[in-house]
Structure 1
Amino acid sequence: MAQALELAGIELQCKPNNTAHRTADFGFGRLIVRRGSRFTITVIFTSRGYQPESDKISFTVETGLAPLETSGTKVQFPLSNSLDENKWNATIVRNGGSELSLSICSPANAKIGRYTLKLLCTTQSQSTMFYLGQFILLFNPWCPADAVFLDVENQRKEYVLNDQGLIYRGSRKFISAIAWNFGQFEDGIVDICLELLDNSLNCLQNQDEDYSQRHDPVYISRIVTAMVNCNDDKGILLGKWGPNYSDGVSPTTWNGSITILRQWNKLSCQPVRYGQCWVFAAVACTVLRCLGIPTRPITNFNSAHDTEQNLTIDSFIDENGKLVKESRDSIWNFHCWVESWMTRPDLKADYTGWQVLDPTPQEKSEGIYCCGPAPVKAIKCGDVTQNFDTPFVFAEVNADYVSWLLRKDGSKEQIMVNSRLVGQKISTKAVGSDDREDVTHNYKYEEGSEEERSVFSKADMKNKLLKESEKTFSIKVKTDKLNMNGTDFKVSAILSNQSSVAKSCRLIFCAQTIQYNGKPIKDCAWKDLDNVTVGPQEVKTESLQVLYSEYGESLTEHNQILILALAVEYKTEEILVARKVITLQNPELCIKIVGEPVQYRDLTAEICFTNPLPVNLCDGTFLVEGVGLTDEQRVPCPIKSITPGQEVKVKVEFTPQKSGLRKLAVDFDCNKLKDVRGFKNVIIRPMNR
């Protein structure tokens, strides 16, 4: 009678397995592999080795707190003669003495998450179950059978393995890039991402049903968009759009996702204060890349928030040219979401590819604040019947902007329809470089083209397609190409008369500080001119001076000012309106690296800032962070009060832990100036070279 096998040890071979599965950046302290690909372990027995003629071996993998075979969260499988990559199975690589090397493969549609691996050995006399260890299973964009397969290697490196990147903000004419530390491979982040799934409403309400769907990137990505905001659940971030962030962290201060995720975990799933759209999007990007879903942040300039689902954004102006809040519709000067790559077998048409996911809490979807995945292909062709939330995303990039005059008696008069304003310069970081890639063509046909209007008509479910009228009398707003924060500047209203008769009008010209989501704050310049006459075929310009002394106190951290010009022609009572958002530019931080950039060797960053404002700045703080370079460091300004034009310098020491191209991101904030940004690319040479 054969002696029972006894387990002496197990080698999960984390280093070769993680390296082969492209999870080496998580480290080698645990086994983290991707589904649909084999990994190898070695089982070590004590008294004797495995004898195939007398020992029958099978395996069990389990995920979840209550694994069930019926849910696919518990799978038992025997040894096989060869590996089949379509199911859980194992085969012997080498049987030598007391060591048994095994190759195990998961199917490309396995549930992702934490797994326990067990071995059952049965001899003639008894059966013994051995606990072999735990591993984490992730999506696999390198596996053709996986629903997230992406068949371009440099895109996989960018959208899955790159732990740093750029996010675009500002306005369509003044696009700025900020460096962001996604940090999906940093210590503990993968556990936090899985904890996020376990704290979703779906999991808390029915864990078995939730775990049974964790093979599906459509399901997982939708859970992530719901859990990145905390509006309905134990989600990560609480959104706030000013003005006071004293009980938390201003959204513009964050340099990356790592601190946010760790803080949420440390607070036992209490929300982190505060986020705005690019923070929500960046944290979602971190979680999705960590889980293995190719993901990239997207910025849409002049992004529509259509609350009535009629594909129009209504803006009301009173007879004095001031914005009036008569509608919940709005135009965000920029709005960020993410795109994730996956197949869509749940949809009839071929809508595989990039899917929009938006974790910013704007509108509810199926009762909770989440958005997507909405196929980008469906958005471009106006197929708004497809899941999920395609009509909302279509409006974000395609809605018509309609201006109305609200008269004193309460009556409303349509002034203008602009079908070109919404959805411009849709941007993401280019693959393998810091260039901006414009992806507007993925979302829509060229503005004003027959295809674009045809698609809009197809999607216009409430049949309110509006037409822009041709005008011989027009108005537009012009500004300088670059306006610096802290300076006085001039804007111009340009009246153009293409008719054969003179036009006489009243011109109201004003400026007001706004939030980046379009909400007005305070008037900061005003001009009301009677009897402005523009002769036949004449162009006349009127200017407006905008003073720092008037806008400085109410300017938000996004530095945005709305310029509005309203002209009322006396004879015909024709009304013209023009608008432009100005983003005032902050000075750039100057960052210099001192020392030889070698892994594990001390470096110093010298950071220089010059006060651009005509007032003193107090309570300054530099926030410095870089994945693979340094954890978040807060450095107080060495000078209590920085006078106008004064330069300050600080030095920050750090020791790079990772080689390759790294980004050191720096943010400076003080009492009267927020969100002064800079980043420095540093190439760190490996220590062994």
Structure 2
Amino acid sequence: MEDLTIQHVNLEKSENLERHRTDGFSSSKALVVRRGTPFRVSVQLQGRPFNPKTDSLRIKVMLGHLYVIMPVTFSKKVSSSHWKASMDPEGLNLQNPSIFISSPASASVGCYRFQLSVFTQDSQKTAFGKFILLCNPWCSEDTVYIPFEDQREEYVQNDSGLLFMGTAMNLVARPWSFDQYEPCVLETCLNLLQVSPHHQKNRRIDYLNRNNPVYISRVVSAMINSEDDRGVLKGNWSGDFKQGINPAKWTGSGDILRQWAQSGYSPVKYGQCWVFAAVMCTVMRVLGIPCRVVTNFNSAHDTNANLVIEEYYSETGQKLNHSKDSIWNFHVWVECWMTRRDLGLGMDGWQVLDPTPQERSGGVFCCGPAPVKAIKDRRIDMFYDIPFVYAEVNADVHTIVVSKGGVLSYSKDTERVGSLICTKAVGFSIHQNITGDYKYIKSPTSTLTSRSSTVSEDSTLKRASSSKGVLVFLNLDKAPVAGEAIRFTVKVINKHSIAKMIKVHMNAQAKEYNHSPSDTFWETQGVIQLAPKEAKVIQQQILPAQYEDVVGDDLINLAVVLEDTASQDRVLASEEFNITSPQLIIQIADEDSIVPNKEHTAKVIFTNPFSHPVSGVLTVAGAGLIQGKIHFRMLQLRPGGRVQQNITFVPSMVGTKMLQANLSLTNSTIRGFKMVSVNRA
């Protein structure tokens, strides 16, 4: 009789991808599965049928030089604590048996090889295969288990999202494509682990440690920036991007990761905080670790660790660059969800990780994972980097008005730093306020109100200058919009019982989110008379023609300084704000009838709100909707003019996808996005 041999091993890809919720990775050559859940392979035997009494099957699973050997047993029991291979004795096809391979819920992440061997009384035949093993947020024994299906969809499976920028009073939602299912992205994310110094130094130890999301997240945090290794992105905050791409031009992670891989792992130029964070979010979601992008508005960088940021102004309200400490209008990092068995009870859940290279941690530019709960309770005795993140959301701001080296006034603000911390809401294209996860909030309204030199009974704005009896409030009438005048109100109150003559200086400077402001582009001054106990309101505006050529995508620092002509006392109020850009409008006909593999049409519409003509390049992209990017040149459009561009797209998979459009003008980018529901045909 012909001896028993293995003709073919079928990895049952479509069945396993669906069971493991990895069907987005169907374009990968390898089978992609999640740890802690069995997957099925079927074996096509040739020759005589398999005889359970005299023949046996054995599987050897290998990760690098690590391996485990499992006999294939006849059992229905599934294990999530150790590797196991079994055949269901019921309905067993002896010519084409099915084998269920179970990995432990604590198995290491990576690309595995396996050998399937059949042993008869006088021979051994072997077949080979491979599979990729990821973390499993659906498995309750996995340390990344997150117990809500809508959160697993949002934080693991969603391949698009929103990054929040601007200011707390005027949020800008920037669309981003995480691209985890795009070609080559999965393989590049796995290669990131292989390229890391940890793996190059000791491959065996690295493979063993890859069972732990704490370890994985620190490796990834270090590898997103290129300061210590062959990391993905080179940071650049100089404003000179001639050697690469302006960070504001990136719209998704796929282009960055592919460019990094195709260059032989040379850093991609350039990234800033939101790019670093968004690319890390892609890598973590690919690896199966729930991840979300978080923005901290008014984020402190406290270089001397005293929890105080000092800001200096001239006597006419110009902000000066006198301090090594700084406040970024916004800073973007990620949170990953995991159990912290290394820290004991109460520290599980969301952990801060920051791949932007700011401070070294363990000698390397990375940050975290720092438990959000530990930041809130200032548990600086715990790992990792809790003091640094605590300062980012809790430092006090000391504002000092100076002239010729002398201090004219001084005030303190305990609410400005970390005034709003937010992330994209689950299932909706809006922000979710998570400030209360990081800090104990004193009052619900204080995070979004305009700051001033006032001191009320319940305020924490203890300003020394206000005790001298002249108060100033600075309030924007509404969130500024491109093409419209910036209107604001200055309210001055004389608390004295004598009349006052007050000099009023107002000053506006353009600034990038992470830099001190540049030169003044608008200023005015005057004198007002105040009777005893009198309040006066000054209405002011900055016209579009005065700011459009200066601001672009930047922000504005607006300040008012009052000078008491009798005493020379000064009091200052300031506000930093962004100007809302116009939106590209995307319209899709028959939105409810969008199905895979069928051509559909969208319209992108732009109306020029500026006081001058504009021209630029329109770029349209959409993971799962459009392959690559489509570019159109937009000719000069007069003020108030309207242009429409038709786009065709063919969805490749079911689910909610993002169609995004970007119009690059000379000194700014206009953006728009549309969520597209692709239904089963």
- TM-score (norm: length of structure 2): 0.91
SS of residue matched to 1:245 = coil
Amino acid aligned to 1:42: S
SS of residue matched to 2:219 = helix
Note the alpha carbon deviations across 1:85-109, whole angstroms, 9 max, x for none. 2101111125423222111111111
Q: Structure 1 residue 232: deviation in Å?
A: 2.1
Cα gap change, 1:655 to 1:242, in 2 (>3 Å) = farther
Amino acid aligned to 1:628: G
Cα gap change, 1:125 to 1:311, in 2 (>3 Å) = same
Amino acid aligned to 2:492: L
Is the counterpart of residue 683 in structure 1 residue 681 in structure 2? Answer: no
Partner of 2:298: 302
Whether contact under 8 Å (2:169, 2:479) holds in the other structure is no
Partner of 1:143: 139
CA distance in 1, matches of 2:115, 2:409: 70
Partner of 2:341: 345
Shifted more, 157-166 versus 77-86: the winner is 77-86
Partner of 1:23: 22
Q: Structure 1 residue 347: deviation in Å?
A: 1.2
Whether contact under 8 Å (2:110, 2:133) holds in the other structure is yes
Whether contact under 8 Å (1:337, 1:356) holds in the other structure is yes
Is the counterpart of residue 317 in structure 1 residue 313 in structure 2? Answer: yes
Shifted more, 289-298 versus 539-548: the winner is 539-548
Partner of 2:63: 63
Is the counterpart of residue 605 in structure 1 residue 602 in structure 2? Answer: yes
Partner of 1:40: 40
Partner of 1:103: 100
Partner of 2:451: none
Q: Structure 1 residue 123: deviation in Å?
A: 4.2
CA distance in 2, matches of 1:205, 1:412: 54
Note the alpha carbon deviations across 1:215-259, whole angstroms, 9 max, x for none. 110111111122222222222222233534344332222222122
CA distance in 2, matches of 1:241, 1:610: 31
Partner of 1:71: none
| Aligned match for 1:201, one of 164, 174, 197 | 197
Shifted more, 178-187 versus 391-400: the winner is 178-187
| Aligned match for 2:534, one of 529, 532, 538 | 538
| Aligned match for 1:378, one of 374, 378, 381 | 374
Cα gap change, 1:364 to 1:313, in 2 (>3 Å) = same
CA distance in 2, matches of 1:632, 1:328: 43
CA distance in 2, matches of 1:433, 1:306: 34
CA distance in 1, matches of 2:461, 2:374: 22
CA distance in 1, matches of 2:50, 2:567: 97
Cα gap change, 1:487 to 1:85, in 2 (>3 Å) = closer
Is the counterpart of residue 660 in structure 1 residue 659 in structure 2? Answer: no
Q: Structure 1 residue 504: deviation in Å?
A: 4.3
Whether contact under 8 Å (1:524, 1:546) holds in the other structure is no
SS of residue matched to 2:556 = strand
Identical pairs, percent: 38
Q: Structure 1 residue 629: deviation in Å?
A: 1.0
Cα gap change, 1:299 to 1:348, in 2 (>3 Å) = same
Partner of 1:458: none
Is the counterpart of residue 76 in structure 1 residue 73 in structure 2? Answer: no
Q: What are the equivalent positions in structure 2 for 1:84-483 lying under 5 Å apart?
A: 84-93=79-88, 95-128=92-125, 130-241=126-237, 243-408=239-404, 410-412=405-407, 415-447=410-442, 471=467, 472-483=469-480
SS of residue matched to 2:322 = coil
Q: Structure 1 residue 572: deviation in Å?
A: 5.3
CA distance in 2, matches of 1:632, 1:519: 37
- TM-score (norm: length of structure 1): 0.90
Amino acid aligned to 2:356: T
CA distance in 2, matches of 1:351, 1:575: 47
Is the counterpart of residue 526 in structure 1 residue 523 in structure 2? Answer: yes
Cα gap change, 1:299 to 1:543, in 2 (>3 Å) = same
Partner of 1:455: none
Q: What are the equivalent positions in structure 2 for 1:637-656 lying under 5 Å apart?
A: 637-639=633-635, 641-656=636-651
Q: Structure 1 residue 533: deviation in Å?
A: 4.1
SS of residue matched to 1:552 = helix
CA distance in 1, matches of 2:512, 2:602: 33
Q: Structure 1 residue 660: deviation in Å?
A: 3.4
Q: Structure 1 residue 20: deviation in Å?
A: 0.6
Note the alpha carbon deviations across 1:608-648, whole angstroms, 9 max, x for none. 21222222323x11111112111342423242x22222222
CA distance in 1, matches of 2:346, 2:594: 48
Q: Structure 1 residue 136: deviation in Å?
A: 0.5
Is the counterpart of residue 577 in structure 1 residue 552 in structure 2? Answer: no
| Aligned match for 1:554, one of 547, 550, 569 | 550
Cα gap change, 1:567 to 1:368, in 2 (>3 Å) = farther
Whether contact under 8 Å (2:353, 2:367) holds in the other structure is yes
Q: Unpaired segments of 5 or more residues in structure 1?
A: 69-73, 453-464
Partner of 1:631: 627
CA distance in 1, matches of 2:196, 2:565: 60
CA distance in 1, matches of 2:311, 2:118: 72
Partner of 1:461: none
Amino acid aligned to 1:113: G
CA distance in 2, matches of 1:49, 1:576: 93
Amino acid aligned to 2:85: A
Partner of 2:558: 563
CA distance in 1, matches of 2:33, 2:598: 31
CA distance in 1, matches of 2:354, 2:2: 59
Whether contact under 8 Å (1:36, 1:108) holds in the other structure is yes
Amino acid aligned to 2:52: P
Whether contact under 8 Å (2:293, 2:335) holds in the other structure is yes
| Count, aligned residues | 658
CA distance in 2, matches of 1:173, 1:521: 22
Cα gap change, 1:93 to 1:556, in 2 (>3 Å) = same
CA distance in 1, matches of 2:68, 2:532: 82
Whether contact under 8 Å (1:419, 1:448) holds in the other structure is no
Whether contact under 8 Å (1:513, 1:562) holds in the other structure is yes
Q: Structure 1 residue 11: deviation in Å?
A: 0.8
Q: Structure 1 residue 386: deviation in Å?
A: 1.7
Shifted more, 13-22 versus 533-542: the winner is 533-542
Whether contact under 8 Å (1:243, 1:556) holds in the other structure is no
SS of residue matched to 2:153 = helix
Note the alpha carbon deviations across 1:404-461, whole angstroms, 9 max, x for none. 23441x3557611100111122111211222321111111111379xx9xxxxxxxxx
CA distance in 2, matches of 1:274, 1:644: 33
Q: Structure 1 residue 155: deviation in Å?
A: 1.0
Cα gap change, 1:102 to 1:644, in 2 (>3 Å) = same
Is the counterpart of residue 498 in structure 1 residue 503 in structure 2? Answer: no
Partner of 2:12: 13
CA distance in 2, matches of 1:538, 1:248: 57
SS of residue matched to 1:525 = strand
